[in-house]
Amino acid sequence: MYTIEYDPTPKQRMFHAADADEVLYGGAAGGGKSKAIVMDAFFRCIKYPETHAYIFRRTYGELEDTIIKEAKDSYPQGIYKYNGGRHEMTLLNGSVIHFRHCSSVSDMYNYKGAEIQWLYFDELTTFEYEIYDFIKTRLRAKKSLKIVPCIRSASNPGDVGHGWVKKMFVDAAPHMQVFKREMVSAASRKKKVYRLQYIPSLLTENPHVSDDYIFQLESKPKALRDALLYGNWDAFEGQVFLEWQDLINKNVHTQEDLDNIAAKRWTHVVRPFPIPHNWPRYMSFDFGYSKPFSVGWFAIGPDGCAYRYKEWYGCESARPNTGILFTPRQIAEGILEREEEETKNNIVIDRIADPSIFDRSRGDSVAQQMEPLGGKRGVYFRPGDNTRLPGKAQVHERLRFSEEGYPMLQVFDNCKDFIRTLPNLPYSLTKVEDVNTDAEDHIYDEVRYFCMARPVPLRHVESAPKLSYDPFRRYRSHE
């Protein structure tokens, strides 16, 4: 007879009882998320013999220090055999818990042949969407097992996956509510409806952590405190554009907010307004095929403020950071279709693009393929300036509010993908001054080319964040 010493908190109980296909248990640090993952895998594997659970962490070191340690401390002795070489626990009923890491997109192909019934990701925001999406395809169960496989993840805010995790789970529906998401298979064109749920976690819900720990977190810088203590997904440690303000998409508006929105003050997102024909226009382009491409249109007001008034983001709607496989010619056509208004009014647009589209080393460059040819319409670009840090400084400078609350870059509220991706960009862990290029940064790159084409004087030098305080080792040490 084996006894399990585990008295789950009410939230952990909810996590174990959830019946959605994909669940994220997320938010504050120390709420008991990893413990819940470890125990959930165990319960499912014990209940259903001969099944396989896979628990992923970004790096093996993190897996060893947190998940494997927790499993060894929590599972009853004698009920499992641990194979240290293979990082697997085989239970007496033939089920196996596989502890796995996947530290880059190329690593995910190691799991091509896996058959997973219970899939877990701990610290989901440390994974790119591609990894989650690919490993998910390994989820399957023979009919004879009579089970419905599922995915369960846990995460704090922040890191490269912050944007897609927030969009997919946290912002998609009221918290705790099970909601539906339709996916269309690219291969079979068949539709399937998945049920998802976000269960927020709070440190204060875990009686097993000491009060000292809460006091420690309370004394931390605001972004870190809000993310780790309150599980706030709007700000996080390592966020690049801390200047970002969006009054329009706030849940609750005060009268002051409404006045500021009307005056286009203290907000980067503004309501669209008719743009005078004589304002200079720019269009900026970042090419992508399997990754999204991004096109942004800007108009410059008399005071020099740039308004991003329209955008076209070539990203699959249900798959963040996944391109729509348009050829350069198709993109050129799409750009011209979206510029009918400007063409009708004889508005000249200055077009800037990622300088790499002019590369002719492998035949016709992308830029050449977008030019008018053989009676077909097209567009011409001039190469943008892709020096990363000066470009980033320009974006910061444009986003910075003047003392009266006016920035030099504002975005019409129809530019949904800019609004979704720019505030979620984290700093790189290797090039600490720069944006992490593993995050969804295509719109940011395109904005950078525009900003470098129309630079503003720098009044303020941005310094990199200090990431020295990292009590939960959320930041990967391998990079």
Ligand X SMILES: Nc1ncnc2c1ncn2[C@@H]1O[C@H](COP(=O)(O)OP(=O)(O)OP(=O)(O)O)[C@@H](O)[C@H]1O
**Nearest to Mg ion of 12, 34 (CB atom):** 34
Q: Count the Cβ atoms, other than its own, within 10 Å of residue 76.
A: 13
Cβ closer to ligand X: 103 or 201? 201
C-alpha 63/C-alpha 71 separation (Å) is 10
Q: Which residue has the tokens 């019934």?
A: 117
CB of 38 to ligand X, least distance (A): 8
Shortest distance in whole angstroms from residue 214 CB to ligand X: 12
User: 200 or 296: whose CB is closer to ligand X?
Assistant: 200
Measured from the CB atom, the residue of 33 and 58 that comes closer to ligand X is 33
Q: Nearest to residue 315, comparing CAs of 323, 304, 307?
A: 323
Residue 32 interacting entry, from ligand X, Mg ion, none, C-beta within 5 to 8 Å by type: ligand X
Residue 262: C-alpha distances to residues 247, 250, 257, 414 (Å): 10, 15, 9, 16
Q: What tokens does 2 get?
A: 């084996």
Instruction: Pick what 281 binds: Mg ion, ligand X, none; C-beta below 5 to 8 Å, kind-dependent.
Output: none
Smallest gap from Cβ 157 to ligand X, in A, equals: 10
Task: Tell me how far, at minimum, the Cβ of 123 lies from ligand X, in Å.
Answer: 7
Q: In the bound complex, what is the minimum distance in angstroms from residue 464's beta carbon to ligand X?
A: 24
For ligand X, the binding residues (CB under 6 A) are 6-9, 12, 29-35, 70, 156, 201, 206, 208-209, 472
Name the token pair of 236: 């996080």
Q: What is the DSSP secondary-structure string of 40-62? A: HHHHHHHHSTT-EEEEEESSHHH
Radius of gyration, CA atoms only, the chain: 24
Sign, CA torsion 415/419/421/423? positive
Binding site for Mg ion (CB under 5 A): 33-34
User: Nearer to Mg ion by C-beta: 201 or 284?
Assistant: 201
- 37 burial (CB, 10 Å; 0-12 / 13-18 / 19+) is buried
- For tokens 């020096």, the residue is 387
Q: Which residue is nearest to Mg ion (CB)?
A: 34
Nearest to 400 by CA among 461, 331, 348, 314: 461
Residue 151's closest CA among 132, 168, 179? 132
Q: How far is the CB of 76 from ligand X (least distance, A)?
A: 15
Instruction: Spell out the residues 6+ positions from residue 470 whose beta carbon is closer than 8 angstroms to its own.
Output: none
Q: CB-wise, 172 or 202, nearer to ligand X?
A: 202
d(CA 4, CA 11): 19
Q: Which is nearer to ligand X, 6 or 266 (CB)?
A: 6
- With respect to Mg ion, which residue has the nearer C-beta, 112 or 473? 473
CB of 228 to ligand X, least distance (A): 7
With CB under 5 to 8 Å by kind, the binding choice for 35 among Mg ion, ligand X, none is ligand X
Which contiguous run of DSSP H or E holds residue 194?
strand 191-201
| Residue 250 beta carbon to ligand X: minimum distance, rounded to whole angstroms | 27
